């Protein structure tokens, strides 16, 4: 008997970075596991798997969500954007470019999650201001290397860039 | 040849450092590894400069025991000082050999090399490294070669960016992201009490679970290998629910200021005990300081891959030292080191000896019967409880002043469990699983990092002129928690104690703290950073402080021979402590990568602020008290100070590491600033609002 027949599992359809996907998995499996293990999208990092550190942040229907504590059933038919999808959107002044220009990282493990949160908050209408971004980082993201001041500098520049682009 | 850098002398064959690839690139092989600190970029820049090759023609080979020079650990702020200087020499020697060969083509005379092409001055004809490579044999020892002439000049240039960050900010980049064909997933069951051993678990319940490939039990070591990671994780959760544990010992109660230490018999060494009597003692002061255990708390949980083939083991690891890990794994697995290859893959920042080495042995044990590569990753709870901690410390200071306010007598005694228990250090096998095996390995006698750099006694010797000195290190053979190297080792608490005590003595002498320090310093580089930090902060000796506003000073020379760092911290204390500004001056000798130095200082400041104000790893009678980030708050984005840094670069001085010099001075500057703000002093870290309130209450009662 095949593995699947022994342990039948539901299939979860959703979209990742614009493409339709479906993942067959136990219903309590996290979105993070599916992204990294089934879809080979490993720019979303595994940090705590407890919803505390923010390394695994993605956008679900445009909203920042921690993929480690988001079960697959909760994203059925929804739109997921990961760091890889954000990069495919190659625009000058992209967040990744801004973080690199500012060398806003040390080990860089926490940064992709932070970029996803900032991307979500800045693409909202109206975009979040600096205070709200810092409050959100306080609640949802940890950096252990002490790259905070550089990260905030990159965010300030991203906010200024966005204002500059607005007509 | 004399003066050969030690790492090059130990690995004298030049092709262990440099090789030219047929596609117009050069492969640079450093034994130092990237830990997020930027060392590999700095070493690449050194190689590019010294070879006369553009940076974008350089490939940095990750450390690999089959390929790379053995440069020990990437630790102790030695990457540039040792690894960089060895690479610089190796590249200069290689350039000299190639230049000699180029002259056979271009003719005798002075050659210049630019973008990898040798030319004679005022001649158009040139020849490149790659055209010459077939005729220059780098598979040779450099020990018989004369000392090379260095190109010299500054290596740093504006816009020199980290080589590794682009990939990290895009997608797969870390060891946790690696894939190997046919790979399986392993997870390990560990107890929640440091002195527990696995007695039994219900194997049948795990065998029946989906995807299980192997259940590995060796003595008290237990782990599961599965086709998928969530299956392995689930299996270990089920095992934990059915597990029975045997407790070998209870933990002492956790009390303030490391009360448990008084019940442990130390191995004591008084390593400085000046002769004679202190003269003209007019005032005497004594004080005690402490810090708790501190977690490395990497954001990425420790991870390794292992693959066995015909008795030969390959391990992919984010260890700080692939060669020492190779030897330790061979010992633990009782195989020949020649049958172990370890390859570095970058991980999250580790800040010292975390679980990276331990998880490598876990992976090797799990993969043994798997016939496939096995990835093993720790959980957050594993990482926060079973990674070694930075050791708890207690320091007693005793000093005397003469009637001019000059220090004439100084005693410093420090109690601490080991700060260095790396896998290959000392006798025994220190990898975590090695002591759990059916044929267990001995951990070996407790040890500490030897002087002059020291472990618990790192920076216990004051850099000041203090008259008659007595310095004692009380090494505690064991503590309630496992401890090993955390960034700066004992320097964090020793410098906190020394610099707090300096402020206390300055107050007794009624001398401004900066002036008091300057009166006790005779090293011009030390004096220069102290003055520069004070100037940057507009230090006002007349500032009375109080009303919750304060500023404090801290200074040290890391390891007494490394980078100089002086700092002023300003705070506002209400019901909480706000660190406002940190003004620092650093002299790390020659600067290889200015932004790299600034980044290390900024990170050092922020991490030290987090340790000093917030962090404490504890335990209860039922075991580890830290299982998640909820149990171990670290500094948040809204809590970081504005950081201002001046770099002093004296000419002709060698490059020193900048990664660890900030820890002690920042801790002390914060403590001194709080004392200046409130006129009470808290001497036990973390300096929390609760402790400050208690100090205020006891001062007023």
Closest CA–CA distance from residue B497 to any residue of chain A (Å): 23
| Smallest CA–CA distance from B380 into chain A, residue | A48
Please name the helix (run of DSSP H) or strand (run of DSSP E) that holds residue B197, with its range, or none: strand B196-200
Confidence at B154, pLDDT banded by 50, 70, 90: confident
Confidence at A1, pLDDT banded by 50, 70, 90: very low
Are A3 and B211 in contact (CB < 8 Å)? yes
Are B380 and A148 in contact (CB < 8 Å)? no
Phi-psi region of A165 (alpha: psi -120 to 50; beta: other; left: phi over 0): alpha
Confidence at B701, pLDDT banded by 50, 70, 90: confident
Measure the CA–CA gap between B441 and B425, rounded to whole angstroms: 14
The pLDDT of residue B122 is 82
Of the CA atoms within 13 Å of residue B423, those in its CB half-sphere come to 29
Of the CA atoms within 13 Å of residue A126, those in its CB half-sphere come to 6
The pLDDT of residue A90 is 58
| Smallest CA–CA distance from B346 into chain A, residue | A107
Measure the CA–CA gap between A63 and A121, rounded to whole angstroms: 8
Closest CA–CA distance from residue A163 to any residue of chain B (Å): 23
pLDDT tops 80 at residue B175: yes
The pLDDT of residue B24 is 96
**Mean pLDDT value of segment B81-102:** 96
The percentage of residues in chain B with a pLDDT greater than 90, rounded to a whole number, is 93
**CB-neighbour burial class of residue A82 (10 A; exposed 0-12, middle 13-18, buried 19+):** buried
pLDDT tops 50 at residue B232: yes
Are A115 and B169 in contact (CB < 8 Å)? yes
Bridge partners, residue B554, by sequence: B567
B594 touches chain A (CB under 8 A): no
Confidence at B426, pLDDT banded by 50, 70, 90: confident
Q: Which of residues 165-194 of B touch A (CB under 8 A)?
A: 165-166, 168-174, 176-177, 179
The end-to-end CA distance of chain A, in Å, is 63
Instruction: Tell how strand B407-416 and strand B468-475 pair up.
Output: parallel
- Write out pLDDT tens, residues A12-56: 999 999 999 999 998 789 999 999 999 999 999 999 999 999 999
Bridge partners, residue B564, by sequence: B557, B587
The pLDDT of residue A3 is 46
B157 touches chain A (CB under 8 A): no
Do residues A63 and A72 make contact, with C-beta atoms less than 8 angstroms apart? Answer: no
**CB-neighbour burial class of residue B530 (10 A; exposed 0-12, middle 13-18, buried 19+):** buried
Which site among A146, A147, A150 would you substitute to test the B interface, given the most B Cβ atoms closer than 10 Å to its Cβ? A146
The pLDDT of residue B493 is 98
Helix (H, G, I), strand (E, B) or coil at B572: strand
B297 CB neighbour count, 10 Å cutoff: 27
Q: Omega before B686 cis (within 30°)?
A: yes
Are B349 and A138 in contact (CB < 8 Å)? no
pLDDT tops 80 at residue B313: yes
Which site among A47, A49, A145, A152 would you substitute to test the B interface, given the most B Cβ atoms closer than 10 Å to its Cβ? A145
Helix axis angle, B594-614 to A148-165, nearest 10° = 110
**CB-neighbour burial class of residue B37 (10 A; exposed 0-12, middle 13-18, buried 19+):** buried
The pLDDT of residue B3 is 82
- Write out pLDDT tens, residues B26-64: 999 999 999 999 999 999 999 999 999 999 999 999 999
The pLDDT of residue B675 is 98
- Write out pLDDT tens, residues B358-391: 999 999 999 999 999 999 999 999 999 999 999 9
Helix axis angle, A130-140 to A148-165, nearest 10° = 140
Confidence at A5, pLDDT banded by 50, 70, 90: very low
- Write out pLDDT tens, residues B192-227: 999 999 999 999 999 999 999 999 999 999 999 999
Do residues B443 and B428 make contact, with C-beta atoms less than 8 angstroms apart? Answer: yes
Measure the CA–CA gap between A138 and B635, rounded to whole angstroms: 9
Helix (H, G, I), strand (E, B) or coil at B504: helix
- Write out pLDDT tens, residues B401-423: 999 999 999 999 999 999 999 99
Closest CA–CA distance from residue B528 to any residue of chain A (Å): 26
Phi, psi of B267 (to 5 degrees): -100, 110
Q: What is the mean pLDDT of chain B?
A: 96
Which site among A7, A41, A144, A150 would you substitute to test the B interface, given the most B Cβ atoms closer than 10 Å to its Cβ? A144
Confidence at B639, pLDDT banded by 50, 70, 90: very high
The pLDDT of residue A162 is 86
Are A145 and B229 in contact (CB < 8 Å)? no
CA angle B67, B86, B121 (to 5 degrees): 105
Out of B380, B595, B602, the one facing A146 most closely (by C-beta) is B602
Smallest CA-to-CA distance from B660 within B538, B516, B558, B510 is with B558
The pLDDT of residue A89 is 65
Q: What is the 3-state secondary structure (H, E, C) of B47-59?
A: HHHHHCCCHHHEE
Q: For residue B210, which residues of chain A lie inside 8 Å, CB to CB? A: 3, 6-7
Q: Which residues contact B134 (CB under 8 A, 6 or more apart)?
A: none
Query: What is the Cα Rg of chain B in Å?
Result: 27
Q: For residue B347, which residues of chain A lie inside 8 Å, CB to CB? A: 107, 109
Measure the CA–CA gap between B287 and B538, rounded to whole angstroms: 30
Q: For residue A52, which residues of chain B lie inside 8 Å, CB to CB? A: 380, 628-630
Q: Which of residues 196-235 of B touch A (CB under 8 A)?
A: 210-211, 227-230
- Write out pLDDT tens, residues B583-620: 999 999 999 999 999 999 999 999 999 999 999 999 99
- Write out pLDDT tens, residues B320-331: 999 999 999 999
Confidence at A11, pLDDT banded by 50, 70, 90: very high
Confidence at B271, pLDDT banded by 50, 70, 90: very high
Out of B230, B300, B599, the one facing A47 most closely (by C-beta) is B300
Helix (H, G, I), strand (E, B) or coil at A56: coil
The pLDDT of residue B2 is 60
Measure the CA–CA gap between A122 and A159, rounded to whole angstroms: 8
Confidence at A127, pLDDT banded by 50, 70, 90: very high
The pLDDT of residue A4 is 44
The pLDDT of residue B121 is 82
Of the CA atoms within 13 Å of residue B219, those in its CB half-sphere come to 13
Measure the CA–CA gap between B432 and B435, rounded to whole angstroms: 6
**Mean pLDDT value of segment B625-652:** 97
**Mean pLDDT value of segment A91-114:** 91
Out of B171, B347, B637, the one facing A42 most closely (by C-beta) is B171
The percentage of residues in chain B with a pLDDT greater than 70, rounded to a whole number, is 100
Are B172 and A100 in contact (CB < 8 Å)? no
Are B297 and A144 in contact (CB < 8 Å)? yes
Confidence at A92, pLDDT banded by 50, 70, 90: low
The pLDDT of residue B553 is 98
**Mean pLDDT value of segment B522-544:** 97
The pLDDT of residue B476 is 98
Smallest CA-to-CA distance from A119 within A73, A147, A145, A154 is with A154
CA angle B51, B52, B57 (to 5 degrees): 85
Helix (H, G, I), strand (E, B) or coil at B445: coil
Reported ipTM: the value is 0.96
pLDDT tops 70 at residue B134: yes
């Amino acid at each position: 008997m095949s593995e699947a027949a022994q342990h039948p599992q539901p299939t979860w359809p959703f979209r990742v970075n614009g493409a339709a996907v479906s993942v067959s998995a136990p219903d309590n499996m996290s979105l993070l596991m599916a992204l990294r293990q089934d879809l080979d999208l490993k720019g979303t990092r595994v940090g705590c798997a407890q919803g505390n550190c923010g390394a695994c942040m993605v956008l679900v229907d445009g909203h920042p969500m921690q993929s480690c504590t988001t079960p697959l059933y909760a994203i059925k038919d929804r739109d997921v954007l990961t760091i890889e999808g954000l990069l495919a959107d190659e625009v000058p002044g992209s967040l990744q470019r801004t973080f690199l220009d500012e060398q806003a990282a040390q080990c860089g493990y926490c940064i992709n999650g932070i970029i996803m949160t900032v991307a979500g908050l800045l693409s909202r209408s109206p975009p979040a201001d600096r205070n709200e971004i810092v409050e959100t980082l306080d609640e949802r993201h940890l950096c252990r290397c002490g790259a905070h001041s550089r990260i905030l500098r990159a965010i300030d520049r991203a906010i200024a860039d966005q204002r500059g682009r607005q007509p | 040849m004399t003066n050969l850098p030690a790492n090059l002398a130990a690995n004298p064959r030049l092709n262990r450092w440099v090789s030219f690839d047929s596609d117009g690139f050069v492969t640079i092989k450093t034994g130092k590894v990237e830990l997020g600190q930027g060392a590999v970029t700095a070493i690449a820049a050194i190689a590019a400069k010294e070879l006369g090759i553009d940076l974008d023609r350089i490939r940095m080979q990750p450390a690999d025991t089959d390929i790379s020079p053995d440069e020990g650990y990437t630790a102790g702020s030695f990457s540039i000082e040792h690894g960089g200087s060895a690479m610089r020499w190796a590249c200069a020697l290689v350039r000299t050999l190639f230049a000699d060969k180029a002259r056979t083509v271009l003719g005798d005379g002075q050659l210049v090399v630019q973008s990898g092409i040798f030319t004679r001055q005022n001649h158009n004809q040139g020849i490149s490294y790659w055209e010459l490579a077939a005729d220059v044999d780098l598979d040779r020892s450099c020990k018989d070669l004369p000392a090379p002439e260095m190109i010299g000049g500054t290596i740093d240039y504006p816009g020199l960016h980290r080589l590794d960050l682009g990939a990290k900010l895009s997608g797969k980049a870390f060891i946790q992201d690696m894939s190997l064909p046919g790979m399986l997933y392993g997870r390990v069951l560990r107890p929640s009490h440091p002195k527990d051993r696995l007695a039994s678990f219900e194997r049948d319940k795990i065998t029946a679970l989906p995807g299980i490939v192997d259940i590995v039990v060796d003595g008290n070591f237990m782990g599961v290998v599965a086709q998928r990671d969530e299956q392995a994780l689930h299996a270990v959760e089920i095992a934990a629910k059915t597990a029975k544990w045997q407790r070998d010992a209870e933990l002492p109660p956790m009390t303030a200021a490391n009360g448990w230490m008084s019940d442990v018999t130390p191995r004591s060494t008084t390593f400085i005990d000046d002769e004679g009597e202190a003269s003209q003692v007019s005032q005497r002061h004594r004080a005690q300081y402490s810090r708790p255990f501190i977690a490395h708390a990497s954001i990425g949980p420790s991870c390794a891959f292992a693959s066995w083939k015909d008795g030969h083991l390959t391990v992919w690891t984010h260890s700080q030292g692939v060669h020492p890990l190779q030897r330790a794994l061979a010992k633990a697995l009782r195989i020949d080191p020649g049958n172990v290859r370890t390859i570095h893959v970058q991980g999250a920042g580790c800040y010292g000896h975390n679980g990276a080495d331990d998880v490598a042995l876990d992976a090797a044990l799990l993969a043994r019967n798997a016939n496939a590569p096995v990835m093993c990753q720790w959980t957050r709870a594993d990482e926060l409880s079973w990674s070694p901690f930075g050791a708890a410390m207690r320091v007693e200071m005793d000093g005397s002043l003469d009637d001019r306010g000059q220090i004439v007598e100084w005693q410093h005694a420090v109690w601490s469990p080991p700060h260095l228990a790396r896998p290959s250090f000392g006798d025994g096998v220190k990898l975590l699983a090695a002591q759990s095996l059916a044929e267990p390995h001995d951990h070996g006698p407790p040890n500490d990092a030897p002087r002059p750099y020291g472990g618990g006694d790192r920076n216990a010797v004051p850099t000041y002129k203090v008259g008659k000195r007595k310095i004692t290190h009380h090494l505690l053979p064991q503590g309630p928690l496992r401890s090993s190297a955390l960034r700066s080792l004992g320097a964090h608490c020793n410098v906190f104690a020394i610099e707090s005590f300096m402020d206390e003595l300055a107050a007794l002498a009624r001398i401004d703290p900066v002036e008091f320090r300057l009166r006790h310093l005779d090293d011009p580089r030390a004096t220069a950073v102290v003055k520069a930090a004070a100037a940057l902060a507009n230090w006002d000796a007349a500032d009375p402080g109080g009303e919750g506003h304060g500023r404090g000073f801290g200074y040290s020379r890391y390891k007494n021979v490394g980078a100089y760092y002086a700092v002023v911290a300003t705070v506002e204390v209400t019901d909480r402590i706000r660190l406002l500004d940190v003004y620092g001056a650093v002299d790390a000798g020659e600067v290889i990568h200015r932004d790299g130095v600034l980044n290390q200082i900024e990170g050092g400041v922020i991490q030290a602020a987090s340790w000093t104000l917030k962090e404490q790893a504890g335990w209860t009678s039922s075991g580890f008290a830290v299982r998640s980030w909820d149990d171990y708050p670290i500094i948040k984005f809204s809590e970081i100070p504005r950081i201002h840094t001046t770099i002093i670069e004296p000419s002709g001085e060698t490059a020193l590491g900048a990664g660890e010099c900030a820890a002690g001075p920042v801790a002390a500057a914060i403590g001194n600033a709080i004392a200046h703000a409130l006129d009470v002093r808290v001497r036990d870290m973390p300096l929390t609002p609760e402790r400050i309130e208690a100090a205020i209450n006891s001062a007023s009662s």
